[in-house]
Structure formats: structure tokens, C-alpha cells
Amino acid sequence: MSTTNGASKIPGQARNDSAVKLDYSSDQDVRWCPGCGDYSILKQVESVLAQQGKPKEEIVFISGIGCSSRFPYYLDTYGVHGIHGRAPAIASGLRSVRPELSVWMITGDGDALSIGGNHIIHLLRRNVDLNVLLFNNEIYGLTKGQYSPTSPEGAITRSTPMGSIDHPFNPLALCMGADASFVARSMDRDVKHLREVLLRADAHRGTSLVEIYQNCNVFNDGAFETFTEKATKPLHTVFVEHGKPLVFANGTKGIKLDGMTPAIVDLATGASLDHLWIHDERDAYKASILVRLFDDPGKEGAMPRPFGVFYVNGRHTHETKLNAQVAMAKEKKGPGDLDALLRGEHTWTIG
């Protein structure tokens, strides 16, 4: 495989700006629109792979259909560009038979939550060990601009000229409902945070679901700008870290829990850090509240949108149990004897 021809032919989208990352790029031209948030995510994934130095041949990227799902073509690893919504199933089958591989799944809001909604919830409950990067841009990009299952109510799109009447999914609440073992959120515009979250996701054994807010600058430009732009980011986001209080707005505000209800506290006027909600990523109850911080940022008194690793649970993976059963069966019955199997229990002989 060539590792020298990684540079994109699209102006302004040069790749491989460091020697280390070069190694994981394929020889294919990247064909996302100039300015797409996907470039940043690709770069951070390459950076994480490079940082860990995993052998390329032991990595597999599996995707469905959509802009994000072109991802596997751009990496010099093994990869399957599957069919719409079915990447979770393809990845589950692969991991069942090859539990030693590093498997990444690339999907989008339409791929994972609309056509593949059934598969994603079953993937999460089974807890197949893979890293799921859910690129959420709240729009259908590849089909040119229809509303997606995460588009907000009222969204004006090509298929909703009078505004979307469908209530959107809260993707991470859905994941918590499906008993996901790793739930996190990051964004394309905060590369440092994204890289850290990806590293955590990769280290987790089980389905690591990372929702990534990704800007579609062609069909839904600025969908997340309140969370990503310097001017508004501090007031509208809260970055959570395990064991630390929920603080935002450059340290001037915090969040406390009134029973089950989160409330904003003004630290500038003397409220104490001690009363704040301390993030515990192992606490499923609190994580369920955290993912519910999902206000429209334009709403008066909106809670900030949380980012970071919300929930981690170390329960067994699907493939561990599957392979344990196979091992147990071999131990109990001995390795399969084909002749004994064909013979069965009752036989008779003629002649």
C-alpha cells in the first residue's frame, strides 16, 4: 500500500501533516466537502491510532452508509463499507469470530438512529467490544439535506419546508436506555477533547459509544455553533471529568443536584464548590440525568450541554461470553468429533 499519496486533492484540505499520522492514511483521495467536520475527526482518529502504534493489519473500520461512512476508505487498515444502518451487525459478527482485533464502527445520525436504530440498541445491550463513532450533524448530507432523526422540531430542510414536525431523538439518552456500557460526547471543533475521549473509548472493553457533534457546512452549517464557538461555548457547555464538580462558564457557574433535578448555581456570587454535582462516570443514575441535559441552547435558562465521558460500566462483552461458552463446551464434551456427530445416537447396520 502506498503511504505517500495521502494528500487530498481538495484545496485547503491537506492531510498527513505529521510523519506519524501518515502511516494510517490510505492512498485514496478524501472526498468530503471542503470544510466538513469529518476531516477533523479523521485526523484525530489517525492521531489516536498513531499514538497507540497499533499494527494496521489488526485494525478494522466498519461503516454503514452516509457521508461519515466513507471513513474506512481513507485509512490503511482493514475496512468494510457496509450497507445502510447495518454496520453494528457486521461488526458484531466480525468480533464474535475475531475478538483480538481492534474494531471501530463509523456511523451517522441517520445511519445509526434511523435505518439502523434497531441494530444500535441491540449492539449496546450485547456490549460487543468496539468503538462506535456516531457523527451527529442533525441532517442527511449524502442525500442532500433532508431532516434526520436528530434534527430539532421545526427544522427547515429540503423535505420539511414548513419545519420538521418530528420530535428528535436524544441519542445518548437512547443509549443509556439500551444499557450502553460507555457513553460519551465530544465535538469536531475541540480536537484535544475529541482525542482524549477517543483514547478513553478505545481503552474501554465493550461498546464505546461516542457521539461527535459534527458540522455539515453545506446542509446544516452552524448547527452546533453555540457549543463550539469561542464566544458562546463557555456558557452553553459543561465539560465533565470523573471525580470533579460540574463547573462551566469559565469557573463562574456550576451545576448542583436538587434531588433528581439539576440546577445552575452562580459561583461568582459565593456559592461553594462543595455543593456541586461531582461527576461519577460509574453512576448510572447520575449519567441518566446527565444525558438529559439536552435543552435547546436558545431557551431561556437552558442548561449547558455536557461533553465528556458520561458513563462507564465494566460488564462482560458479548464475545467474551460467546467464546467462553465455546471453550466450556470443548472442555466438557471434548473437541468436536465429526464421525461421532454424524453417527448420532441410534444406528443400525445392514449387510
Rounded to a whole number of angstroms, the minimum distance from the CB of residue 69 to other proteins is 9
**Judged by CB under 8 A, does residue 344 bind other proteins?**
yes
* Contact of 106 with 126, CB cutoff 8 Å: no
Q: What's the CA gap between 154 and 234, in Å, rounded?
A: 26
**Judged by CB under 8 A, does residue 53 bind other proteins?**
no
**Judged by CB under 8 A, does residue 350 bind other proteins?**
yes
Q: What angle do CA 122, 62, 87 make, to 5 degrees?
A: 30
Q: How many residues bind other proteins (CB under 8 A)?
A: 64
**Judged by CB under 8 A, does residue 170 bind other proteins?**
no
- Cβ neighbours of residue 9 under 8 Å, at least 6 residues apart? 29
DSSP class of residue 18?
A: S
Is 22 in a helix, a strand, or coil? helix
Dihedral angle, C-alpha 321, 291, 88, 107, nearest 10 °: -150
CB-wise, 16 or 237, nearer to other proteins? 16
Interface pick for other proteins out of 19, 162, 231, 338 (rule CB under 8 A): 338
- Report CA torsion sign: 213, 196, 233, 32: negative
Interface pick for other proteins out of 15, 43, 86, 233 (rule CB under 8 A): 86
Residue 305 grid cell: 450541554
> What are phi and psi for residue 64, nearest 5 degrees?
-105, -120
* Contact of 254 with 244, CB cutoff 8 Å: no
Rounded to a whole number of angstroms, the minimum distance from the CB of residue 139 to other proteins is 22
Q: In this structure, which amino acid lies at residue 28?
A: Q
Interface pick for other proteins out of 5, 118, 232, 250 (rule CB under 8 A): 118
Q: What's the CA gap between 135 and 68, in Å, rounded?
A: 7
**Judged by CB under 8 A, does residue 26 bind other proteins?**
yes
DSSP class of residue 35?
A: T
CB-wise, 124 or 184, nearer to other proteins? 124
CB-wise, 108 or 245, nearer to other proteins? 108
**Judged by CB under 8 A, does residue 58 bind other proteins?**
yes
CB-wise, 95 or 189, nearer to other proteins? 95
**Judged by CB under 8 A, does residue 78 bind other proteins?**
yes
**Judged by CB under 8 A, does residue 261 bind other proteins?**
no
Rounded to a whole number of angstroms, the minimum distance from the CB of residue 128 to other proteins is 10
> What are phi and psi for residue 16, nearest 5 degrees?
60, 50
**Judged by CB under 8 A, does residue 52 bind other proteins?**
no
**Judged by CB under 8 A, does residue 285 bind other proteins?**
no
Given the rule CB under 8 A, which residues bind other proteins? 1, 26, 28, 55-62, 65, 72-73, 75-83, 86, 88-98, 100-101, 118-119, 122, 322, 325-326, 328-330, 332-336, 338-339, 341-351
